[in-house]
A and B are shown apart, each in its own frame.
Chain A
Amino acid sequence: MSRAVTAAQLGLLHCHVCSQLSRAPKGAHEVRCSRCGAALHFRKPASVQRSWALLVAAMILYVPANVLPMMKTSSLFGSQSDTIMSGVVYFWTSGSWYLALIIFFASIMVPLLKMMALALLLVSVQRRSRWQPEQRARLYRLVEFVGRWSMLDIYVVAVIVALVQLKALATIQPGPGAAAFGAVVVLTMFAAMAFDPRLIWDTRDFPHG
């Protein structure tokens, strides 16, 4: 990889705002674009640290997201609160195993795998691993792409809650699990954004922090 030339190796900085290329001054840590004054840096500042922070927050919230009820249904026939897993179990036992599988993968496995993938990327970057950078780059793209689709659950809950408001007959309210789940999805998206994929390729030549 070291054969490939990067801007950072050449000491060049690219302004994200006005696209002017600048030469990094010697000895200076914080630099600005000479034309538009935007902050310039070789890599996203504190990328790994921020990514880790968001990822840790997401991991913490993943627990209540799965344990707390997602949705509270109350109707004439009584009230009921469902977690994601109880919904999966319900569909599985009632015979709709394909729906159960979809919900299980979209709402339980995908966020979990996403967090594991991000953790893997972050660890590998911190250890400056040279292991399979192309695969890791592909993994990162996958994580970024998948991110928004995990919000599907939240959309469904939001729509149902808005629609099913029949007062005495039936109401559906979002449970605390929905907030936690939304937070997990948003935090993992931010974590993926905070991660600088260029770090995968900066094996040991470039310091990052």
Chain B
Amino acid sequence: MAESTQLPDVPEAVAAPKSRRSLQLVWLIPLVAALVGGWLAVKAIMDKGPVITIAFATAEGLETGKTKIKYKDVDMGLVTGVALAPDTSHVVVTAELVKDARRYLVEDTRFWVVRPRVSGGTVTGIGTLLSGSYIGMDIGLSKTPKEKFVGLEIPPIVNTGEPGRTFVLRGDNAGSLDVGSPLYFRRLKAGQIVSYDLAKDGRGILMKVFVNAPYDKFVNDNTRFWHASGIDVTLNSSGAIIDTQSAVSILIGGLAFETPAESGDLPQAAENAEFRLFANRGEALRNPETDVMKLALVFDESVRGLSPGAEIDFRGVAVGTVTQIRPHVDVAGSHFKIRVKADFFPRRMRSKDTGKVMSNDQRRALLSGMIARGLRAQLRTGNLLTGQLYVALDFFPGAARPKPKPAERMDDDDLPEIPAVPSSLVQLQETLAAIAAKVQKFPLEQVGADLQTTLKGATRLIEHIDSDLAPELRATLTEVRKAVESADQALKPNSPLSQDARDAMRELARAAAAFRMLADYLERHPEALISGKREDPKETNK
């Protein structure tokens, strides 16, 4: 410090009053920073929503950190992970949802991947062409919370809570229909196909349709659904009828339904009620069969030519169809019978008290009464070319008394059974067989032997005739010829006999003329008989 004196006169600084606080204001800055940071951290933790997993078949279009979950286009969350399931059969998508979404994660909440899709005449998800796929969400109504979901492969057409009802249609094939294909009611779009699936037994398809609210009340148990795909052209005596629902349905197919007027007062069909899906409108309305009675027909003959779908006909009216044909062996009696299952449509037969639906038991009682009176099934040829058979039901009075034994059950399905009478062909066969049997019974060999002896006798006889009779006969014949020749001689024109005969005849003619003159004279002069003939001048002159 001593060195300071060496410096030229350095003025002394002025002392200032002590005003400094010991704690610097600058510490407010880290405080603020800490507050902001802490607030952000708290907010981040508070905002952390529930984490769910969704299983999908593939992760197509799904990206970690980018793919969003949206409900009605509102962001509900973000995919935070896409991983393969342990068994590699599907992918598991982990997603973090917004905080408020917890109460929407219930049992029937559905998730699906929204991708561009062209179906049912509508194009959806076009936005995802550019923005990439996102996961759609439909909030369910259940109250049970859930965290592990299985995603839908096909987006649901109908969101939960949309007014209307779902019905199930059972058809033979899906045709050109797809999810979203329209459903028409009186040519108005009344709903759409929600999903379709192969029936569990593989026989046909099950299609779920959703009918929107004002239209669903027109669906009752008697409603008919049919394929309205394309154009239906009918040619009949009144000309060509072209039937179609709409231009859209021509292109992409669709369904239509109609409720026959007569059944309009039936109660509305229940949710998820099952209906048959007909191929076209005509078939749908022609088949008023919602009421099906299952029958079994028992045949004792070949059913070749009878196939499932064959008609059951009552005096020319189709009243049912064959559904199944199966031979049954009766082990005890070691004989076979063919049991044909059939659907019988009792509604096709009107009774006086129509409209009253009979119970199954009543129908059975009625049927067994009819069988007692001779109702029988018979196979008949429907088409001579193809040999297709149909089953005819009719009363055969001859068969009226069935065997009293209570027709042993061949199956335990407890279907009412209608016995069969042999078909006319079989009857013919039987007759022929009977004739053949009779023919067979005929003792042909014996007859043959007898015939042989007889023939031998005949031969002997002929030989005898030849040797003994023939010479005699020849002599006789010679005699006969001689007689004839002499007769011939006698009858010749200039033979004495004929001369004499001719003279005699002339004399006879003269005698007849004399007699005529006498008769004539006597007629004019009857007195001559007494007086004798008088000389008549005229006569004399003559």
Contact = CB atoms under 8 A, between A and B. Distances in A.
Nearest to B17: A30
Nearest to B3: A10
A64 B29 CA distance: 16
Contacts of A57: 29-30, 32-34
Given A23-B11, A33-B13, A68-B40, A77 B24 contact: no
Contact of B33 (A9, A28, A183): A183
Given A61-B37, A176-B40, A49 B4 contact: no
Nearest to B132: A78
Interface in B123-145: 130-132
Contacts of A60: 30, 33-34, 36-37
Contact of A31 (B15, B34, B66): B15
B487 interface: no
Contact of B19 (A30, A49, A64): A30
A33 B12 CA distance: 8
A53 B12 contact: no
A38 B132 CA distance: 65
Given A12-B4, A49-B24, A50-B24, A34 B30 contact: no
B474 interface: no
A33 B10 CA distance: 11
B261 interface: no
A76 B26 contact: no
B24 to A, nearest CB: 5
A178 interface: no
A127 interface: no
B19 A53 contact: no
Interface stretch (A39-47, A101-109, A139-147): A39-47
Interface in B1-29: 1, 3-4, 7, 10-20, 24, 26-27, 29
A12 B9 CA distance: 12
B13 A78 contact: no
Contacts of B24: 46, 49-50, 53
A172 B414 CA distance: 76
A98 to B, nearest CB: 24
Interface string B31-46: 0111011001000100
Contacts of A63: 37
Contact of B14 (A11, A32, A53): A32
Q: Tell me the interface secondary structure of chain A in the complex.
A: mixed
A63 B37 CA distance: 8
Nearest to A30: B16
Nearest to B8: A21
A25 B33 contact: no
Interface string B475-513: 000000000000000000000000000000000000000
A80 interface: yes
B11 A34 contact: yes
A76 B131 contact: yes
Nearest to A184: B33
Contact of A25 (B7, B13, B40, B68): B13
Interface residues of A, number: 46
Interface centre among B4, B10, B68 (most CB of A within 10 A): B10
A56 interface: yes
Given A10-B3, A53-B30, A22 B17 contact: no
A34 B13 contact: yes
A53 B10 contact: no
Contacts of A37: 14
B16 A31 contact: yes
A56 to B, nearest CB: 4
B3 A54 contact: no
A5 interface: yes
Contacts of B26: 46, 49-50, 53-54, 194
A9 B3 CA distance: 10
Nearest to A194: B26
A31 B29 contact: no
A32 B68 CA distance: 65
Nearest to A78: B131
A115 interface: no
Contacts of A39: 16
A37 B20 CA distance: 17
A16 to B, nearest CB: 13
B4 A32 contact: no
A146 to B, nearest CB: 21
Contact of A30 (B20, B32, B34, B68): B20
Contact of A64 (B13, B14, B32, B37): B37
Contacts of B130: 76-78
Residue from B17, B19, B27 whose CB has the most chain A CB atoms within 10 Å: B27
A12 B17 contact: no
A24 B13 contact: yes
A111 B34 CA distance: 18
A23 B4 CA distance: 9
A61 B29 CA distance: 11
A11 B10 CA distance: 11
B30 A35 contact: no
A121 interface: no
Nearest to B19: A30
Contact of A22 (B1, B12, B20): B12
Interface string A165-209: 000000000001000000100010000001000000000000000
Q: Which of B15, B29, B34, B36 has the most CB atoms of chain A within a 10 A radius of its CB?
A: B29
Contacts of A19: none
A29 interface: yes
List of 3 A-B pairs having minimum Cβ-Cβ separation, nearest first: A28-B15, A57-B33, A57-B30
Interface of B: 1, 3-4, 7, 10-20, 24, 26-27, 29-30, 32-34, 36-37, 40, 44, 66, 68, 130-132
Given A29-B18, A56-B33, A77-B131, 8 more contacts: A25-B13, A29-B20, A30-B18, A31-B13, A32-B14, A54-B30, A63-B37, A64-B36
27 contacts: A9-B1, A10-B1, A11-B4, A12-B4, A21-B7, A22-B10, A23-B10, A24-B12, A25-B15, A28-B13, A30-B16, A30-B18, A30-B19, A32-B13, A33-B13, A34-B11, A34-B12, A34-B14, A39-B16, A40-B13, A49-B26, A53-B29, A57-B32, A64-B37, A67-B44, A76-B130, A77-B132
